[in-house]
Every structure is written in structure tokens, then in C-alpha cells.
Amino acid sequence: MYIFQLFNRLDNNNEKQIEIKFEPKPGNPELLYQGTILIDETTNYILSSCITLEQDSSKSGKEVNLLVLKAQLKQYNSTALFSFTGTNYRTFYARTQVEMRMWNNKKLDQTFSFLSDLLANKVVEAAFEPISSKEEFNKKALYSLGNNYQTSYWKNQNAVHLTPAEERIIEQLR
């Protein structure tokens, strides 16, 4: 199903690394993933992984029926970079990009794109205490339904103050 290739290489600090490349075998009718994984040879830690959906125009992704809609994955790219310092091994960068086509009977035919970038540039070593079940937020909405305003906050706390001429125009519209 896949072809794997292993390469030995040196980084800028002359550290030995193993690069694993994988790609689908030719002639496979399914749309599969391809990518590269980089491993530090001395610690056996993964330094980076880059996985993408195969870019073969003759193949198309599997259609999934979601009752009301049909969906098809068009593009998938995932990159993760890892670092280790001493005994700490962490992901410091993660990026995911997904493109999906959704449609139903000529009423809807849209391609949705999603991109997520996460960069961890500071790690806090302090211990976190678990939250008790009484403090945990367990309601369905952030605000309770209904409006029980005690003041006309929209008059007193304007973000944009109107000029007297603008206020006269608004008063005439009421």
C-alpha cells in the first residue's frame, strides 16, 4: 500500500537524524497520505512530521453521506515540530489545514477551508490544581436566557460617542 524510504542525514550541529518518507504505491485507486517523519538518531525522539493528502488529480476522496449533506475531503496538511530540552519533550509548533467540499441536491455546494496554527513559545512549569465539580462550568450557554438589565448601559457606555447632530438624526428616526 505504501512505499517507505529511509535516509540518514546530519543537521546543522552535525547530529545524526533519520528521515522516513512514505508515499502510496502507484496504481492504488484510493486517495492516501504521503509525508515525511524526521527522527533524532541518538534519542529516538520525533523531531518533525509532515503529512499531506496525496496530490493526484486522477483520484478523488471518498464521499461520506451525512444524512442531509454529502462531504468529501479535498485537502489535508498536517505539520508538527517537536523539541526536547533535558527531560522535557514537547510539541512547539502544530499546523493543520483541511479543505472539505459539502453539498446536497444543487441547493448547496461549498468548499470549506480550516486552518489552525499553534505555536508554544513559553512553557509554564507550575503545577495546576484540578478544578472541583462545583467550580466547573456545566451550563449549555454562557449567558442565561432573558435580559434583566438594571441600567441603560447602551446609553452610558458607548464605545463610539455621537455628536449632537448625529444624536438628533437618531432621535428623528425613532
Domain chopping of the chain, boundaries: 2-136
Confidence band of 160 (pLDDT split at 50, 70, 90) = low
Residues in Cβ contact with 8 at an 8 Å cutoff, skipping those fewer than 6 apart: 16, 17, 18, 19, 41
Determine which of 8-12, 116-120, 148-152 has the lowest per-residue pLDDT on average. Answer: 148-152
Q: Which residues are registered as beta bridge partners of 21?
A: 5, 36
Nearest residue to 112 (alpha-carbon basis) of 72, 171, 63: 72
- Of 77, 36, 27, 79, nearest in space to 56 by CA: 27
Average of per-residue pLDDT across 66-75: 88
The reported pTM is: 0.66
